[in-house]
Amino acid sequence: MLNRRTFVKASAAAGTLAYWTDPLHAAATLSPVDESAPAGQPAWLKTLRRVGQTNITEHDPAVLDVEAWADYWSRVKAGVVYVSVTGIIAYYQTQVPFHRKGKYLAGKDFFGELNTAARKRGLRTFARMSPDLNWGDALQAHPEWFMRDEQGNAIPTADTPELFQTCTFTPYMTDYMTAIMREINAHYDVDGFYMNGWPMFNMPVCYCNVCRKLPPPKTPAYWDKFNDRVMQLWKLYDNIAKEKNREAFYFANMGGGIHATTNLVQIGEISQWFQADNQGRGRMDDPIWGCTQQGRVCHAIMNGKLAANVTGLWSTGPLRWRESIKSPQETQMWLDETAASGMVPYIHVIGGEKGMGEDRRWEKLGEDYFAWTAKHDVHFMNRRSIANIAVVFGQRTNLFYQAPNDMTMQRNMDGLYSALLEGRFFFDFLHEDQLDPDRLKKYTAVILPNIALLSDAQCAQLRAYVNQGGSLLATFETSMYTDQNARRADFGLADVLGIHTAGKVIGRRGNSNPFYARIERQHAILAGFTDTDWLPGAEYRQPVAAVENPILTVVPGFVAYPPELSYPPTPQTTEPAVVLQERGSSRTAYFPGNIEHSLWIAGNTDLSRLLQNTIRWVAGETNPVTIEGDGLIEAFAWETDPGFAVHILNYTNPNTHRGWLRAFYPIGPQRVRLHLPPGRTIRKAELLRAEKKIPFTMNGGVVEFTIPSIDDYEIAALTAE
């Protein structure tokens, strides 16, 4: 193992350690970022199908069985394992100042032992680092490294007050972390570097001397500076990863679902690997489909490059038992969702007490699941998704929009998502920065679920899409704000949707009724509604000007209690509750209410049906894939290397909306129709979970088959000619 003198000698030429004596010198001598360097995506990434991680604890050097650890990950055919370097606690004999060695490390090179054992078995390794925290001695010596509150105090972590939060904008990131990376490069062979806990999952709020010179926290102007810093550091770290091996690369933890802090489109352009940290349901009232939402985000931004989602086999949720597993059914469904949505399954456990952990029930679960995927790897090699609907997710809206009352953008998306699943629609996600014509032309309809913040340029892109025959569905305050979160006098898409504002947002008062929608005339979006003149509206609405010949009009909310007063003082208005337009092949629909959020918090079936009907109307009658049968499912269709694959997840379960799953509840026959591209035919259809061939028919470019039953998950793999 290297000593301090050897390390200083090896590193001084690159300026890595210069900061310890002269921070200005360090800034000048750090290797510059090579902006012209190729991405260097190694070929092995395209075939990687399994990832494993035992998250090393400080105690593990004393108890973890290194050979058993490496044997397990080799046996389950994990292509990559993470080996902890950290930055908080060192697992090797580091010479970097303030990289504190674990108290159970003694004289061991524990990182080296793990890395050697894994690579001896043909496993690729990534050095896992944590740049987000450091100890009080580092704070005392380098106070400029750390985040500060408004009073100038360093910010400790809630669970471990001896650890303090570091700041992205300080030399900690350019000097301390690069010193550790170069130390690893100098003495070990790894395939790349991964940073956990950075960038932060929430927009950082810091008042250190550097951050006080930036725009105010939680503003679009600050976000721009934050993204610039993340890109600068990402490129710096990637260059360092490549100093020893041009195929090595750097990547970081990008958080969960639609809530990542860093601009995802920018990350997708430079990253070879999207690390999705969506380990399980975070709250007990989260729906089961949180992992597939993550997969749709990754598919949108990575342009076919690898995305892996961490499934925590430990007990995720509001109460965490980090070294006890959650129910096998919950874990299996999370892995199912990972695979179905196009991500690489990745299992994660904490610590190695008694050699492989005190609770070892996870071992067989991981072994069985990975063994099954290994048998069918070729059918998980996806080329493109098959979908005719795009759902826009707005990062700026998620970060900056001030929603009324307790309305959250996650619940807004969950409401729309539930309607899409009940309607069995096939859809992709699109980031608000991906509205270019080449992407949009694939879709017959685009849904804007209260995407409040849209730039003039983005509105122009959507306008051009509609002018070319595309269809839109928008809700509530979509396009009422610029990308800088400035409220417009009127909708940015007013001309596209045929609407104009007519006042401020209106919500219900106290325990009063939300508004109602009066049926003025029949239309396709009202299919299935009989024997009623009213439908539920939503909790909030943005009033819009009257339109000619409306389909639904607003009945304002009124007293809910006492029942003697629960009647409408104004039973009819000219204010529209939906605005529909048709121009050639283009259809547009606008709901002035927060219909998706109201659907989610109330579970109202009328709102779900109204949304489903409207989505069908804007998308048109031609669907690339249809699935008929009972049950609540989520489905994906992919063109694959061998042909095509239809993935069906069975969510028919009493714990779909409140975790965890305890058992699976099989559903019966599912009849599938898939439209094939011209010139393609099918020669074989098989079910990968049932592991049997099934009959199919071909008729006019459409293949039809029936899946007899589904427990948790089934894939119909079609081999094409």
Could you give all domains of the chain from N- to C-terminal order, each with its CATH number? 387-619 (3.40.50.880), 625-720 (2.60.40.1180)
pLDDT mean over 276-289: 90
> Does residue 628 contact residue 694 with C-beta atoms inside 8 Å?
no
Cα 220 from Cα 261, distance rounded (Å): 12
Per the DSSP assignment, residues forming a β-bridge with 646 are 637, 716
Strands 506-507 and 625-628: unpaired
> Does residue 88 contact residue 74 with C-beta atoms inside 8 Å?
no
Strand ranges (E), 30-141: 51-55, 80-84, 124-129, 133-135
- The confidence band for 257, taking pLDDT boundaries of 50, 70 and 90, is confident
Cα 684 from Cα 438, distance rounded (Å): 33
Q: What is the pLDDT of residue 554?
A: 97
Nearest 5°: phi and psi at 639?
A: -85, 130
- The confidence band for 471, taking pLDDT boundaries of 50, 70 and 90, is very high
Q: Torsion angle of alpha carbons 207, 212, 214, 218, nearest 10°? A: 40
Nearest 5°: phi and psi at 719?
A: -90, 125
Cα 61 from Cα 72, distance rounded (Å): 18
| Residue 193 to residues 45, 129, 220, 238, 647, Cα–Cα distance (Å) | 15, 7, 30, 8, 33
Residue 257 or 301, more confident: 301
Which of these ranges, 122-136, 247-261, 662-676, has the smallest mean pLDDT? 247-261
CB neighbours of residue 383 within 10 Å: 10
> Does residue 648 contact residue 337 with C-beta atoms inside 8 Å?
no
Length of the chain (residues): 721
Side-chain half-sphere CA neighbours of 473 within 13 A:
27
In this predicted structure, the answer to whether residue 427 has a pLDDT above a threshold of 60 is: yes
Strand ranges of the sheet holding 713-720, from the earlier edge strand across to the other edge: 382-385, 633-640, 643-650, 713-720, 682-687, 692-693
- The confidence band for 2, taking pLDDT boundaries of 50, 70 and 90, is very low
> Does residue 371 contact residue 347 with C-beta atoms inside 8 Å?
no
Collapsing DSSP states into helix, strand and coil, what is residue 46?
helix
Nearest 5°: phi and psi at 273?
A: -145, 125
Q: What is the pLDDT of residue 299?
A: 96
In this predicted structure, the answer to whether residue 545 has a pLDDT above a threshold of 90 is: yes
State which amino acid sits at residue 617. Answer: W
Q: Model confidence over 334-391: pLDDT tens digits?
A: 999 999 999 999 999 998 887 677 888 889 999 999 999 999 999 999 999 999 999 9
> Does residue 537 contact residue 552 with C-beta atoms inside 8 Å?
no
DSSP string, 414-431: HHHHHHHHHTT--EEEEE
Cα 234 from Cα 95, distance rounded (Å): 24
Q: What is the pLDDT of residue 355?
A: 67
Q: What is the pLDDT of residue 18?
A: 36
- The confidence band for 33, taking pLDDT boundaries of 50, 70 and 90, is low
Of all helices (H) and strands (E), which one includes residue 494?
Answer: helix 494-497
In this predicted structure, the answer to whether residue 227 has a pLDDT above a threshold of 80 is: yes
Q: For a pLDDT cut of 70, what percent of the chain falls above it?
A: 94
State which amino acid sits at residue 250. Answer: Y
- The confidence band for 219, taking pLDDT boundaries of 50, 70 and 90, is very high
Q: Model confidence over 60-110: pLDDT tens digits?
A: 999 999 999 999 999 999 999 999 999 999 999 999 999 999 999 999 999
Which of these ranges, 23-32, 117-126, 138-147, has the smallest mean pLDDT? 23-32
In this predicted structure, the answer to whether residue 28 has a pLDDT above a threshold of 80 is: no
pLDDT mean over 122-149: 97
CB neighbours of residue 414 within 10 Å: 23
Q: What is the mean pLDDT of the chain?
A: 92
Which residue shows structure tokens 């990402």? 234
C-alpha 362 chain-centroid distance: 24
Q: Model confidence over 642-661: pLDDT tens digits?
A: 999 999 999 999 999 988 99
Indicate the angle between helix axes 220-242 and 177-187, nearest 10 degrees: 20
Q: What is the pLDDT of residue 4?
A: 38
Contacts for 254 with CB less than 8 Å, ≥ 6 apart: 199, 260, 262, 264, 267, 274, 275, 276, 277
Cα 446 from Cα 416, distance rounded (Å): 13
Contacts for 145 with CB less than 8 Å, ≥ 6 apart: 134, 138, 139, 166, 167, 170, 171, 172, 176
> Does residue 129 contact residue 194 with C-beta atoms inside 8 Å?
yes
Residue 406 or 330, more confident: 330
Cα 304 from Cα 308, distance rounded (Å): 12
> Does residue 295 contact residue 289 with C-beta atoms inside 8 Å?
no
In this predicted structure, the answer to whether residue 197 has a pLDDT above a threshold of 60 is: yes
The C-alpha angle with vertex 310 and arms to 306 and 313, in degrees rounded to 5, equals 150
Cα 91 from Cα 518, distance rounded (Å): 67
Terminal alpha carbon distance of the chain: 56
User: What percent of the chain is helix, strand and coil (3-state, nearest 5)?
Assistant: 30, 25, 45
In this predicted structure, the answer to whether residue 30 has a pLDDT above a threshold of 50 is: no
Number of H helices, E strands in the chain: 20, 33
User: What is the Cα Rg of the chain in Å?
Assistant: 27
Cα 537 from Cα 594, distance rounded (Å): 9
| Residue 567 to residues 105, 357, 558, 559, 590, Cα–Cα distance (Å) | 73, 63, 7, 7, 27
Collapsing DSSP states into helix, strand and coil, what is residue 48?
coil
pLDDT mean over 587-616: 97
pLDDT mean over 176-190: 97
Residue 350 or 591, more confident: 591
Collapsing DSSP states into helix, strand and coil, what is residue 445?
strand
- The confidence band for 40, taking pLDDT boundaries of 50, 70 and 90, is low
Q: Model confidence over 699-720: pLDDT tens digits?
A: 999 999 999 999 999 999 999 9
